[in-house]
Amino acid sequence: MIRNYRDLTRLEMEEIDKRETIVLIPLGALEQHGNQAPLGTDDIIAEAMVNYLKEELEAVCPDFPMLIFPVIPVGLSTEHKNFCGSVTFRPETYYHILYDICSSLSHHGFKKVAFLICHGGNAPMVQILSREVRSDLGLYAFYLSSGAFSHPDVKATISPGNIWDFHGGEMETSMVMAVDPSLVKLSTAQPGIPSAFTDTRSLKPYGSASISWMSEDWKTPDGKPIGIGGDPSGATAEKGDIILRTSVKELVPGLLDIRDFPIE
């Protein structure tokens, strides 16, 4: 049975089978997403993903044992901090917040935690954390990516010629529009391109090497830092619904594997 963690009373929580129940923790962020999308884009997507995921899982397994933790609304967003409105934890702060949550869950007897990563910048910290809590607490920590952005059905939503779609671009903007179109201001949208990397192979998606990037590296055609990738002007709620539903379908097999994963 899938329920919201925060909705249970203490007595109801005492009755939960802690050994078998997965605690799903959605990880969002509060950061700029261009001129057109809200600062809370990742949190909005996280909340939507959870709703879509609950619907999809219950159709496959009505008794799926999962508690949905409240979205963690701030994450590790160093690359966006120079844009107005962006808020970030320091790496050590973020690590300890997530560690302390895991420690509390472990103290109450939970054995499985799954982090739903809805901002890519959070992923490295979760990867480190997952090993530490397994070693220190005996807690099995798994991590899932919230967007199936390489799936053919998702890639098909990108407008022709929009070759740089990335953070704050057409796909993410569409996902927000699927939740609440009024939050998106397409009339102010501007495209962003990775001007620092267009003539090199130093950006991993487009070459063999990777580099630490900052939002200022993505600029409008006239050279103004904008911090998003691609042209969001083609975003629609219909595209966002396809992206959300496709992404959720890709998550279901992983959650079924987590459910069946043997614990000591």
Q: What is the CATH number of the domain that holds 81?
A: 3.40.50.10310
Q: How confident is the model at residue 204 (pLDDT cuts 50, 70, 90)?
A: low
Judged against a pLDDT cut of 90, whether residue 197 lies above it is answered with no
- 169 & 84 share domain: no
User: Which residues face 68 on adjacent strands?
Assistant: 4, 24
**pTM for this predicted structure:** 0.94
- 122 & 237 share domain: no
User: Which residues face 25 on adjacent strands?
Assistant: 115
Calculate mean pLDDT across residues 190-215: 70
- 202 & 249 share domain: no
Tell me the average pLDDT of the chain: 94
Question: What tens digit of pLDDT does each residue of 224-263 get?
Answer: 999 999 999 999 999 999 999 999 999 999 999 999 999 9
Q: Do residues 18 and 111 lie in contact, with contact meaning Cβ atoms separated by under 8 Å? A: yes
User: Which residues face 120 on adjacent strands?
Assistant: none
Q: How far apart are CA 81 and CA 67, in angstroms?
A: 32
Q: Which residue has the tokens 């379908």?
A: 249
- 131 & 171 share domain: no
Judged against a pLDDT cut of 70, whether residue 207 lies above it is answered with no
Q: How many folded domains does the chain comprise?
A: 2
Q: Do residues 218 and 193 lie in contact, with contact meaning Cβ atoms separated by under 8 Å? A: yes
pLDDT at position 239 = 98
Calculate mean pLDDT across residues 180-200: 88
Instruction: Give percent of the chain above pLDDT 90.
Output: 87
- 96 & 133 share domain: yes
- 12 & 110 share domain: yes
Question: What tens digit of pLDDT does each residue of 16-36 get?
Answer: 999 999 999 999 999 999 999
Calculate mean pLDDT across residues 213-218: 87
Question: In the β-sheet with 2-4, what is the strand arrangement from edge to edge?
Answer: 2-4, 66-68, 22-27, 112-117, 140-145
Q: Which domain holds residue 201?
A: 152-241
Q: How far apart are CA 127 and CA 125, in angstroms?
A: 5
Q: Do residues 48 and 73 lie in contact, with contact meaning Cβ atoms separated by under 8 Å? A: no
- 156 & 87 share domain: no
Least confident of 68-82, 84-98, 199-213: 199-213
pLDDT at position 201 = 60
Judged against a pLDDT cut of 80, whether residue 206 lies above it is answered with no
